[in-house]
Amino acid sequence: MPNLHTKRFYVPETDQWITLKVSSKAIRTIDKLGIYEYLRQLKSEGVDVGVKF
């Protein structure tokens, strides 16, 4: 089982708060890339995150 956490992130480009259920590895990736770039990557993989770009 992955180590999941419910975490809120602020996306300054869209001026929105989003809540995601993310793994510890995903949190490290978000810290490295930034939340906006991480969400763009998820969207390109076909994951619906609920944020419009």
Residue 2: the pLDDT is 81
Strand positions, DSSP E, the chain = 4-11, 16-23
pLDDT reported for residue 47: 86
Mind listing the pLDDT tens digit of every residue in the chain (53 residues)?
Answer: 889 999 999 988 889 898 989 999 999 999 999 998 998 898 899 888 777 66
What pLDDT, on the 0 to 100 scale, is given for residue 34?
94
Q: CA-to-CA distance for 15 and 24, rounded, in angstroms?
A: 24
